[in-house]
Structure 1
Amino acid sequence: MEFDPWSPAFVADPYPAYAELRAGGRAHWYEPSGQWLIPHYQDVNALLRDRRLGRTYLHRFTHEEFGRTAPPPEHDPFHVLNGHGLLDLEAPDHTRIRRLVSKAFTSRTVERLKPTVQRLAGELVGDLLADGGGDLIAKVAEPLPVAVIAEMLGIPAGDRSLLRPWSADIVGMFELNPTEETARRAVRASLDFSAYLRTLIAERRQSPGEDLISALIAAYEEGDRLSEQEMISSCVLLLNAGHEATVNTTGNGWWSLFRHPGQLAALRDAPDVLLSTAVEELMRFDTPLQMFERWVLDDIEVGGTLIPRGSEVALLYGSANRDPARFPDPDRLDLSRADNPHITFGAGIHYCLGAPLARLELAASFGTLLRRAPGLRLEAEPEWNPGYVIRGLRELRVAV
C-alpha cells in the first residue's frame, strides 16, 4: 500500500504503508502535499527537539523571505486565533505564554479535577447502560473531555453544546491541503468562538471564580500578563487539543480491544493491574494524531538527505510509534508493555501541556466502562472519519 492520506483504505489502516516508508529510507519527498515524510522513531523524536525546526517561521522570516505565499486575508480570523496559541508559537513568545498558562494549568489543578472526571464518566456510562448501548463515541468518548474542559474553563452548562462544533470546524484546517469550504467554516468558528470567549473573559474580570479563565487573567510573572488574544487562543487550544486526541484515543482504543479479544479479556480480569499500561499502549498502537508538521528554519540532513530551509517536514507519529527499531514486535497490541516511550504527546518544547489531564480522562473512561459494562461488545464494524492527520472513527456502535 502507498502513502495516500486522502484514501479511505489508507486512513483505515496506514500501518502497512508506514512499514514500506521505513524500509525505503529516512526521508521521502511527497509531492501532493509538498512535504518531506519522516517515518522513523529516532528521527521524529530528534526533530521534535531540534530548534532548527519550528511550528512557525514568522518569528524569523516574512512569508516572502521564506519562499512561501501569505494566506489569503479572508482567512485571517483563523490565523490570528491559531497564531497566538502555544501550538504554533516559537520562543520567545512560546516560552513566555507557556510559563504563564502553566501557572494556571498546574498538576494540582488536574488532581483537583479527579472527582469531577470520575463523576462525569460515571454519569455518561450510566446513560449508556440505561440505553442498552449505542454509539460509544457520541455517548461517552466525546462528551467526557468536552465537559471536563468546559468545567475547567467555567463555561456554563447551557453553552457547552457550542464547543464541539466550533472545535471540529477549526481543527479541519490541520488536515493536508484543506479545501476553501473547510477554511470558510474554520474562519466562521474562529470568529464565533473568539467572540464568545471575549464576553466570558470580560465577565470573569468583573467577577473572578475558581475556573481556569479566572486563573489565566490572574497569571503574571515579573509584571507580564497574557493579552486578551493570548487568553482566547489558549482557551481554544486547550479545548481543541484537550479533547480531539482523547475522543479518538477512546474510540480507536476500544476498536483495537474488540479486535484483540485476548488482550481485552486480560484487561477485564485485572483492570487495576493493567489499566495504566493499557492506556499508554492504546495511545501507541493506534495513534490519534498521525502527523505533526514542522518548518525547516535552517538546513538539516536526515539519513544523508539534505532538507533545505523553507521546506516542511511531516513527522509521522503513527509510523514512529510502530517502529521495530524502538518497539519490539510493534504491530502486536500488548497491554502490559512496560517500556513504552511513545510520542503520542509529542516531545521538546511543544510536549502536550494537557498530557496529565488526558491520562486522567482516559483512565476514568476505560476504567468505568470495564467495571460497569463488563459485557460491552461491538455491534457493527465502524467507519473512519475522512481526516488523516487527526484520525478517528465516525461512530462505534456497542451493546452492553
Structure 2
Amino acid sequence: MRTWLATGHAEAGAVLRDRRLGRIFGPRTPEAEWDTFNWLHADSILDSEPPKHTRLRRLVAGAFGRGHVQRLAPRIEELAQGLLAQLPDGSFDVIEQYAEPLPVLVIAELLGVPEADRHLLRPWSQAIVRMYEVDRTPAEEAAARTAAGEFAAYVEELAAHRAKAPGEDLLTDLVQARDGSDRLSAHELVATAVLLLNAGHEASVNGFGNGLHSWLTAPARPAVDATDPAAVDRLVEEFLRHDSPLHLFERTAKEPTSVAGVELAPGDKVAALLGAANRDPAVFADPNRFDPTRDPNPHLAFGAGIHFCIGAPLARLELAISLRTLLGRHPRLEVVEAVQRPTFVLRGFERLVVSPAG
C-alpha cells in the first residue's frame, strides 16, 4: 500500500491526534467519471481539514445537539421489537434479519427518509464503501460511481422538499443549520447526509455482528445481566474493542513530521490499524480475551482527535438498545454458522446464523 502502518495503541492514537497529519482526499480519475463520488467526499466532514472541517463540524454538531439522538431511544426499541417479532422459530441470521435492517431504519428515521424509500439506502451505501477496500474490482468501481450519483440525486431531491416543507428530522435541521450568516452549501448538505447514512449504519451493523460473534464464541462465555444498563454498556464497549468494525484509518503528512520515531515527508501516508491498537497488551490486559466486564476500556474504535466519529453517541445507544432487546427475548444464543465478508478495512459478517439455546 506504500503506507506506514501504526499498530500499537499509543502509536495509532498519535497518528489520529497529530494535527500535522490530515485527511487529504485525492480525487479519483478520470474526474469526469468520478465527479459526484469525488465531491461527496471532498465536501464531507470525514475528508476535510481545518478550517473547512471546523466549520462543517460546527454546523453539523449543532444539528446533532438538538436532542435528535436521545429522542430516538424509545423508537429504536420499538423498531428492534418489531424486527424480533418477525423472526422465525429456531435458527435465524442475526445480520440479515436484525443487525442490518435496524441501523438503516434508525438513521432513516433520524434523517427523515420516507419509509417507502428505505430499502434503497443499504445497497447504495455498500456499493460506495466498497471503494475503501484495497482490492476493488472494475465492476465494484463502476457500481460505486452509479450508487454515488443515485444517492446524491435522491438526497438533493429530499433536501429540496425539506426546504419547502420542514419536518421534525435531522435533514431539516441540516437544511436550516446556520452559524451567523454561514450555512451548508448544496454539495456540503448532500455530502453530510450521505456520510451520516453510510457511517451511521455500517459501523453499527459490523460492530454488532463482530461483537456478538466474539462473545458467543468466547471460551467459557461470560454471562451478562441484560437488565443492568451499566453491564450492557460495558458489553457494547467490548464488542467495539475486541473485533473493531473499522480496521484502517488513513492520514497524510501535511508537513515534515515525526511520529513514533518515524520521519514522514509531506505527502507520506500513514494509517492507524484500529483493530491491532485495540488488542495492544500494553493497554489491555489479556487483550485477546473477550471480557464484558473490562473497565476502563480506552479502545479507538471510533477514532480520536478532530475526526472522532460524530455519530458515536448514536452508535452506542443503538448497540445498547438492540443488544438489551435481543437478550431480553433470547437470553442464550449459540452460533450455528458464521461467514465473514471478504473485506479488511470495514470488517464484518455476511452471515451470522444463531439459534436460541435451551
State the TM-score, normalized to the length of structure 1. 0.85
Equivalence for 1:36: 4
Give the 5 Å matches for 1:67-216. 71-73=29-31, 74-106=33-65, 108-128=67-87, 130-216=88-174
* Aligned residue among 221, 233, 241 for 1:276: 233
Equivalence for 1:355: 312
Deviation, 1:355, is: 0.5
C-alpha distance in 2, partners of 1:285/1:342? 9
Equivalence for 2:177: 219
8 Å Cα contact 1:107/1:356 also seen in 2: no
Deviation, 1:106, is: 1.6
Given residue 374 of structure 1, which amino acid in structure 2 is its aligned partner? Answer: P
Equivalence for 2:23: 55
8 Å Cα contact 1:40/1:319 also seen in 2: yes
Deviation, 1:83, is: 1.2
Given residue 265 of structure 2, which amino acid in structure 1 is its aligned partner? Answer: P
8 Å Cα contact 1:245/1:288 also seen in 2: yes
- Structure 1 window deviating more from structure 2 (84-93 vs 267-276): it is 267-276
Paired residues, number = 355
Distance verdict in 2 for CA 1:328–1:123, change over 3 Å: same
Deviations 1:360-381 (A, max 9, x none): 110011111111112322222x
Deviations 1:14-48 (A, max 9, x none): xxxxxxxxxxxxxxxxxxx1111111110111121
C-alpha distance in 2, partners of 1:361/1:38? 30
* Aligned residue among 200, 208, 220 for 1:262: 220
C-alpha distance in 2, partners of 1:271/1:379? 27
Equivalence for 1:9: none
Equivalence for 1:13: none
C-alpha distance in 1, partners of 2:176/2:116? 26
C-alpha distance in 1, partners of 2:235/2:221? 9
Deviation, 1:263, is: 3.6
8 Å Cα contact 1:268/1:374 also seen in 2: no
Equivalence for 1:15: none
Deviation, 1:269, is: 7.2
8 Å Cα contact 1:263/1:335 also seen in 2: no
8 Å Cα contact 2:250/2:271 also seen in 1: yes
8 Å Cα contact 1:267/1:275 also seen in 2: yes
Q: Secondary structure at the residue paired with 1:244? A: helix
Q: Secondary structure at the residue paired with 2:29? A: coil
Identity of aligned residues (%): 47
8 Å Cα contact 1:271/1:367 also seen in 2: no
8 Å Cα contact 1:56/1:89 also seen in 2: yes
Q: Secondary structure at the residue paired with 1:162? A: helix
Q: Is residue 350 of structure 2 the alignment partner of residue 394 of structure 1? A: yes
C-alpha distance in 2, partners of 1:96/1:310? 24
Q: Secondary structure at the residue paired with 2:349? A: coil
8 Å Cα contact 1:268/1:370 also seen in 2: no
Deviations 1:306-359 (A, max 9, x none): 222111112100010011111121111111111111110111111110001000
- Structure 1 window deviating more from structure 2 (361-370 vs 174-183): it is 174-183
C-alpha distance in 2, partners of 1:329/1:256? 15
C-alpha distance in 2, partners of 1:393/1:338? 27
8 Å Cα contact 2:209/2:349 also seen in 1: yes
Unaligned runs of 5+ in 1: 1-32, 64-69
* Aligned residue among 369, 385, 392 for 2:341: 385
C-alpha distance in 1, partners of 2:324/2:79? 13
8 Å Cα contact 1:173/1:182 also seen in 2: yes
C-alpha distance in 2, partners of 1:302/1:237? 29
State the TM-score, normalized to the length of structure 2. 0.95
8 Å Cα contact 1:57/1:297 also seen in 2: no
Given residue 75 of structure 2, which amino acid in structure 1 is its aligned partner? Answer: T
Given residue 109 of structure 2, which amino acid in structure 1 is its aligned partner? Answer: E
C-alpha distance in 2, partners of 1:133/1:268? 23
Q: Is residue 14 of structure 2 the alignment partner of residue 46 of structure 1? A: yes
Deviation, 1:272, is: 4.0
C-alpha distance in 2, partners of 1:338/1:141? 25
Q: Is residue 280 of structure 2 the alignment partner of residue 323 of structure 1? A: yes
Distance verdict in 2 for CA 1:203–1:378, change over 3 Å: same
Deviation, 1:271, is: 4.5
C-alpha distance in 2, partners of 1:150/1:100? 20
8 Å Cα contact 2:152/2:190 also seen in 1: yes
Q: Secondary structure at the residue paired with 2:354? A: strand
C-alpha distance in 1, partners of 2:77/2:295? 25
Given residue 208 of structure 1, which amino acid in structure 2 is its aligned partner? Answer: P
Given residue 86 of structure 2, which amino acid in structure 1 is its aligned partner? Answer: D
Distance verdict in 2 for CA 1:222–1:270, change over 3 Å: closer
- Structure 1 window deviating more from structure 2 (207-216 vs 105-114): it is 105-114
8 Å Cα contact 1:216/1:226 also seen in 2: yes
